[in-house]
Structure 1
Amino acid sequence: MAPGHVLATVGTTKFDLFISTLCCQKVLQVLQARGYTSLTMQIGHGMIVPPSGLIYGVQVEYFRFKDSLAEDMQRADLIISHAGAGSCLEALGARKPLLVVINEDLMNNHQMELAQQLHEDGYVQYTTCTHLEHALQHMDIQTLKPFPTVDPHKFTDFLDSIFGFENRK
């Protein structure tokens, strides 16, 4: 199956450099050359309002917020996300290839730490806005491992064992 749709998200923050970088000619042309025909951007509280329509061969659209990104993530063939923990975990939970873009302007760059660890574990590729074009050109999403599924019962079972309820099942 050829790739087709990219979802980019900034979560609940603003990350204008990321949005403007995604909209630049070189990045859109790389996406188009790799077979991506559409890009949806979730722009949050950002000041940059991206263009929409067919741009350099890619159909571009955007929105600020939705109650849930689950449907958008399921529709995506690639997710490009800021390195917020919630956004990364939601994308990984959707079992989609993930390219994480670090916001280098944040203090105590916790995003770098998270992205590096997820990359070392084989779940994501990561980059900065400065290197986004290069990362898109050279990424190999086939090398990414699927993120382990979470068993929500493990936590409740653990709590039950602490409080002595394990025999009540």
Structure 2
Amino acid sequence: MGEKVGTLKDKRVVFVTVGTACFDALVRAVDTPQVKNELFRNGYTNILIQMGRGSYIPNKLTVGNGSAVLEYFTFSSSIAGYLKEASLVISHAGSGSIFETLRLGKPLIVVVNEDLMDNHQSELAEELADRKHLLCARPQTLYETIVDMDTTSLVPYKPGDAEPVAKLINRYLGFPDD
């Protein structure tokens, strides 16, 4: 843990982020042979997991030449560089991670943490999935989401359009839709 992760250039990287919390269910789901094999089958070459405060340690994978194809780290002062270099992002449902990824125009699978109480994050993720800006999954449905995903069907998010988010927040707070 905490080791320096090499350059991500010339690779098709899946960047997985759980934010600052513990979301072992997401890390475990990505670390299953089925999910890893499906990602590799879809042409992704590397998986990089930011695992936050989690205690589950994913299994590092290397190929014959010794280069890592699955790596992990706990925290970084900024994940912006990892997001920019990623070909696909699999993220927890934190609004910062979601909107930073969407602004970069990266394909995004948001995995909802069902262990959180009063999970307004799932409402945001589901609303953005309904609008075709991202794909939404649960840890137990991540594999099926990857099998069925068509990243070309995603609609680019326009950062200046705050109305859908404002409506969602108002609905969550109990204000009527206008």
Shorter-chain TM-score tier: 0.7 to 0.9
The count of residues paired between Structure 1 and Structure 2 equals: 147
TM-score by length of 1: 0.82
> Which of 17, 35, 50 does residue 42 from structure 1 map onto?
50
Note the aligned Cα RMSD (angstroms): 1.7
1:16 aligns with 2:36: no
Aligned to 1:129: 139
Instruction: Give deviations 1:25-45, integer Å, cap 9, x for gaps.
Output: 111111111111100000001
Aligned to 1:164: none
Deviating runs (4+, > 2 A) in structure 1?
Answer: none
SS in 2 for 1:32: helix
Within a 5 Å distance, the mapping from 1:70-149 to structure 2 comes to: 70-149=80-159
In 2: Cα distance, 1:31 partner to 1:92 partner:
20
1:150 is displaced (CA, Å) by 4.0
TM-score by length of 2: 0.78
1:111 is displaced (CA, Å) by 2.1
1:28 aligns with 2:2: no
In 2: Cα distance, 1:149 partner to 1:105 partner:
29
Identity of aligned residues (%): 38
SS in 2 for 1:118: helix
In 1: Cα distance, 2:87 partner to 2:160 partner:
22
Where structure 2 has 5 or more consecutive residues not aligned to the other structure, the ranges are 1-10, 162-178
In 2: Cα distance, 1:54 partner to 1:18 partner:
21
In 2: Cα distance, 1:149 partner to 1:133 partner:
29
Aligned to 2:60: 52
Where structure 1 has 5 or more consecutive residues not aligned to the other structure, the ranges are 152-169
